[in-house]
Structure 1
Amino acid sequence: MDKISQLPDELLLKILAMLPTMKEVVDTMLLSKRWQFLWMMVPRIKYNDTYKNPKYGSFSLFVDRSFFMHEAPVIEALHFKLGSICGSEDIQAWMRSADKRCVRELTIQIDTFTDKDSVLLPWSLYGGGCRILVTLNLINAVLVDDFTSPISFPSLKTLSLKSMKYPSGEFVKNLLSKCHVLEDLVVEQCQADNVNIFTVIVPSLKSLVMKTLDNRVGNDTQGFVIDAPFLENLDIFHSSGFCIFENVMTKILDANVVVNSWKLWKKLGSIASFKRLYLCVPSSKDVYPAGSVFTSLVHFKICTCETEWVNLLMCVLRDSPNLRSLKLQQCHFLRSEKPRPCWNPSWNEPSSVPECFLSSLETFEWVHYEGAQEEKEAVAFVFRSAKCLKKATINIYSKTNDIHKKLEVIKELFSSTRLSPACQLELR
């Protein structure tokens, strides 16, 4: 311990910040005089009322005292993980203290999962409090409205809202409109969030993740409306409903699109800027405007869980003249009991070979390859047509993990495909 104590304060504070909770940080004051006041300057604070099951009175009092005695001029991160023993009144008091402590990153995570134990976050959190807050993460809590006070997040650049409940869709729209410098937004909707149309109108936004992770029944009144002209990264995981892009977004580089239904979706807008694209959609029709070309696309990944994945794959390959990397992977359980599609023989014609196969495709990877008929024909088509392929990786999957079954799949793979000697083949 003497050798550790000789380290500079800056390094010791980094070590203290790695401890599980503030309770362990404060306990270090007992080690020696060198450590007696060091805990008061730790830049990252974590409180957890579910850790070692403390009693309500002792935990609340500990937070009050330790936070009051803290002397760091700026708190880089403040994390509250709260279960059933702390509630809205406690958080309200702690938020007042947080505003005075110049907190840059704030996380409030509620670990209760029933409406009876719902925790309301105080209006002071977003009604003028925490003025220098740069990052805000809220998980499984309830936001409330106060029509008499304005929302203010003048410095907020990163916002994450997971399994939150809101007063209304209009409240959400107003909340985001007050984040004038917001660049990164993550939204994971829960079933009881009270928002049918989640509207995101943020001109400064660069990265957006929108997910619906519940089993709500999709209809014409549920979905997303997105207006973010400078968006560079888009991640959509949508179990139902619709998504509307109000304006063409010409700066998107990364796009991940996973949806159960394409019926109500408006088209993605400009796709010419996409460099990396991941798709998992139930239909190959109207995914993007006819005649569009992915002129910048170099990395493409497609999920093979949908019945029309082959058709969608060929559409994108046809419209991606500069593609260099192609990855096929079954990322989800098969979504339909319909027979898996067969490879269309007409695509064997030379005139149907995608341009990227002739001039640019260098790497090909297939994860969760099972050796089904359409998979064998797809692999054969790629190996036969991709003239510039340098490396191919096939990850063979067997439901029973039977080594003999895997060997049979490998034998069929070699007997039905022809690969250029210049291409390195790796089987896993």
Structure 2
Amino acid sequence: MDRISQLSDTLLLRILSELPTAEVVETMVLSKRWLPLWKSVPHIDFDDDIYEDIDTGRFSRFVDRSLILHKAPIETLHFELTKTSTVDDIGVWIEMAVQRHVRDLSIYIDCTSSTTPVTVPRSLYTGCGMLVTLKLKSVTLTDASTLPTFSTLKYLFLLFVKYPGEEFVRRLLFSCGVLEHLDVELCFDDNVTIFTVKVPSLKSATLRKSKDRYIDDEDGFVLDAPSLELLDVYNSTAGFCTIESAMPNIVKANVVVNHGPSEILSAITSVKRLYLCLSYAKDAYPVGSVFPRLVCLTICTSEIECFNLLMCLLRDSPSLKSLKLQLFCIRDQGQRSCWNEPSSVPACLLSSLETFEWVNYEGTEEEKEVVAFILRSGRCLKKVNISSETTDSDKKLEML
């Protein structure tokens, strides 16, 4: 007896939603009971990587037929496309998505398999008024005379996307009146020098640049998001990140920048958890700045001013409970790191710091002095972990 077929339609549809769309469609041949079920599955995922043995035409016809025969509302529609997809196909499928009032749309293109640009039709931002999540990767957006209408969009991913220009980007984000999460990775030749994000409702932002992107002093991000709670900035090559408004609600920030972190840090003084990776540690943030809510700090840098930066952050973070130094070493053997023991012990060492971790400790004279100062002054320390990558047993013993 087929016990699965005796389950309710609701439960069967939930099971089918977890399967690849190609396998879902195949269930129609099981029995009359299963024949109409696949047409009501709310989540559809097309991945042409599993169709390596068929040509472009057959895959396109399969997608066309599946979307045409599907009768129920489609909540989630995902495309992961490589060599078997064509530019015209994408346009038709997006038109179908618009007609079916899709709420979660994802279009990921494998740009390594084809040099042909995939252009998204204007109907994407003129007809998808019910979208909540939109994920685009390696596509080209076209301009439109009217503003996009993304009044319900909360999650937006723009990865390796090419734009009509900077003004279009501003208009696109301005149309997202309730946007909460933004993930951007700028790519080479994307027609944007300054990527402006001015979204009052934004709560989470991830801003990155691809490694092959041409960088100059005019290239960067402008961020105006006073409601932001989570911030990730990955700008390890060059360029800038300008923050135009304070972020009093910031909880967590990952800041990986090549230079000029002062403007970012001065805007996120309310942060609670901070990962800071710098190649330039001098004047990392304005004198007088205080991080009163910071409880967890990780610092990654090999710059010669690293120890003085550490002492400044300890001084200006009176509530710090956890400190981690990651890859915290001076690589240039011709220079010695700057270390000046402070005249007074930072408040966090006396009253709050409980966990101290040092990764890739090398045992230089300066490092030993810093460790000694923290161990001697940390009255509330409960856990200390100091590790080294050296395999020399004698050197390890000397460090110990």
- In the superposition, the TM-score normalised over structure 1's length comes to 0.86
- What is residue 242 of structure 1 aligned with on the other side? 240
Distance in 2, matches of 1:336 and 1:94, equals 53
- What is residue 250 of structure 2 aligned with on the other side? 252
**Native 8 Å contact 2:282 2:305 kept in 1:** no
**Native 8 Å contact 1:249 1:269 kept in 2:** no
Shift of 1:93: 1.2
In the alignment, does 2:359 pair up with 1:364?
Answer: no
- Per the alignment, in what secondary structure is the counterpart of residue 160 of structure 1? strand
- Taking a change above 3 Å as real, the CA distance of residues 135 and 267 of structure 1, as seen in their structure-2 partners, is closer
- What is residue 50 of structure 1 aligned with on the other side? 49
User: Identical aligned pairs, as a percentage?
Assistant: 51
Q: Could you report, residue by residue, the CA deviation over 1:336-386 in whole angstroms, capped at 9, with x for unpaired residues?
A: 756564362x41x6x332110110001122334444554444333322221
- What is residue 381 of structure 1 aligned with on the other side? 373
Distance in 1, matches of 2:198 and 2:332, equals 39
Q: Give the alignment's Cα RMSD to 1 decimal.
A: 2.4
Distance in 1, matches of 2:44 and 2:231, equals 31
- What is residue 344 of structure 2 aligned with on the other side? 352
**Native 8 Å contact 2:187 2:212 kept in 1:** no
- What is residue 423 of structure 1 aligned with on the other side? none
In the alignment, does 2:337 pair up with 1:342?
Answer: yes
Unaligned 5+ residue runs, structure 2?
Answer: none
**Native 8 Å contact 1:267 1:287 kept in 2:** no
**Native 8 Å contact 2:188 2:214 kept in 1:** no
Q: Could you report, residue by residue, the CA deviation over 1:167-194 in whole angstroms, capped at 9, with x for unpaired residues?
A: 1111111111111111110111112211
- What is residue 421 of structure 1 aligned with on the other side? none
Distance in 2, matches of 1:413 and 1:336, equals 18
Distance in 1, matches of 2:68 and 2:211, equals 40
Shift of 1:115: 7.7
- Taking a change above 3 Å as real, the CA distance of residues 261 and 342 of structure 1, as seen in their structure-2 partners, is closer
Shift of 1:153: 0.6
- Taking a change above 3 Å as real, the CA distance of residues 50 and 114 of structure 1, as seen in their structure-2 partners, is closer
Distance in 1, matches of 2:139 and 2:209, equals 17
In the alignment, does 2:382 pair up with 1:390?
Answer: yes
Q: Which amino acid aligns with 1:259?
A: V
Structure 1 residue runs of 4 or more that deviate by more than 6 Å after TM superposition: none
- What is residue 171 of structure 1 aligned with on the other side? 168
- What is residue 420 of structure 1 aligned with on the other side? none
- Taking a change above 3 Å as real, the CA distance of residues 28 and 315 of structure 1, as seen in their structure-2 partners, is same
Shift of 1:50: 2.3
Distance in 2, matches of 1:199 and 1:38, equals 45
**Native 8 Å contact 1:283 1:312 kept in 2:** no
In the alignment, does 2:135 pair up with 1:143?
Answer: no
- Per the alignment, in what secondary structure is the counterpart of residue 67 of structure 1? helix
Distance in 2, matches of 1:370 and 1:336, equals 10
Higher alpha-carbon deviation: 266-275 or 321-330: 266-275
How many residues matched? Answer: 398
Give matches, 1:27-426, under 5 Å: 27-53=26-52, 54-73=54-73, 75-113=74-112, 116-126=115-125, 128-147=126-145, 149-216=146-213, 218-238=215-235, 239-262=237-260, 266=263, 268-330=265-327, 337=332, 339=334, 341-342=336-337, 344=339, 346-347=340-341, 351-398=343-390, 402=391, 405=392, 407-408=393-394, 410-414=396-400
Higher alpha-carbon deviation: 369-378 or 128-137: 369-378
- In the superposition, the TM-score normalised over structure 2's length comes to 0.91
Distance in 1, matches of 2:175 and 2:57, equals 37
Shift of 1:320: 0.3
Unaligned 5+ residue runs, structure 1?
Answer: 415-428
Q: Could you report, residue by residue, the CA deviation over 1:109-139 in whole angstroms, capped at 9, with x for unpaired residues?
A: 011237831111111111x222110010101
- Per the alignment, in what secondary structure is the counterpart of residue 211 of structure 1? strand
- Per the alignment, in what secondary structure is the counterpart of residue 115 of structure 2? helix
